[in-house]
Structure 1
Amino acid sequence: MKDSHKAIWLKRKNLGRSRYLVTFGIVPWGIGATLFTTLLELLVSHSINSTWIPIRLIVFAFIGFFVANGRWVAMEHRFEPPAPRRP
């Protein structure tokens, strides 16, 4: 892995886990996927059912949380040295 990847990870890790989850998971997935599916709905049915928008936000925010959390764990395993074992 490149040193630049490790530097990016360390910068993001300094944000803290909670802020990382919000910044790279909940907000982009929640808003992005909601906008995408709403636009897709508009293109297919030529109308938007406003009842589905908050439901989509909640569902996609949960998905974003789990995606970002999995990414956090994977990056910790990739870049953190293993803890020393006790005898």
Structure 2
Amino acid sequence: MNKAQAGKWRKTRQMGKAKYVMYYGVVTWGLLLTFLFTAVEWFSQQSFNGSWFTIRLVVFSIVGFFIANFRWDANERTFLTKDAE
């Protein structure tokens, strides 16, 4: 992690882990993947199924939670290692 990345992470970590995971994981990944897969369904089948949309939203939000959680932990380890040097 270079100085610019460390500075950016220093700002980002001020929001706290819970807020980071909710914003970057649940909301961002969950909505992005839900809309992406729904668009693929629409363009390939010319149909929209509301129950599949709901299932996608729940599943991809859970996936996003884990992705953001792992990213937070990895960035913290890298930041604290860099900070210790």
TM-score (norm 1): 0.89
Give percent identity, aligned residues only: 37
Q: Which amino acid aligns with 1:31?
A: L
Q: Considering only CA atoms, is the larger Rg found in Structure 1 or Structure 2?
A: 1
Structure number with greater CO (CA < 8 Å, separation at least 6) is 2
Structure 2 Cα separation of the partners of residues 69 and 31 of structure 1: 17
Root-mean-square deviation (CA, aligned residues, Å) is 1.3
Question: TM-score when scaled to structure 2?
Answer: 0.91
Counterparts of 1:5-84 in structure 2, within 5 Å, are: 5-81=5-81
Q: In the alignment, which residue of structure 2 is the partner of 1:85?
A: none
Give unmatched runs, 5+ long, in structure 1.
83-87
Gaps of 5+ in 2: none
Runs of 4+ in 1 over 3 A off after TM superposition: none
- Count residues in correspondence: 82
Give the secondary structure class of the aligned counterpart of 1:48. coil
Structure with more of its chain in helix, by fraction: 2
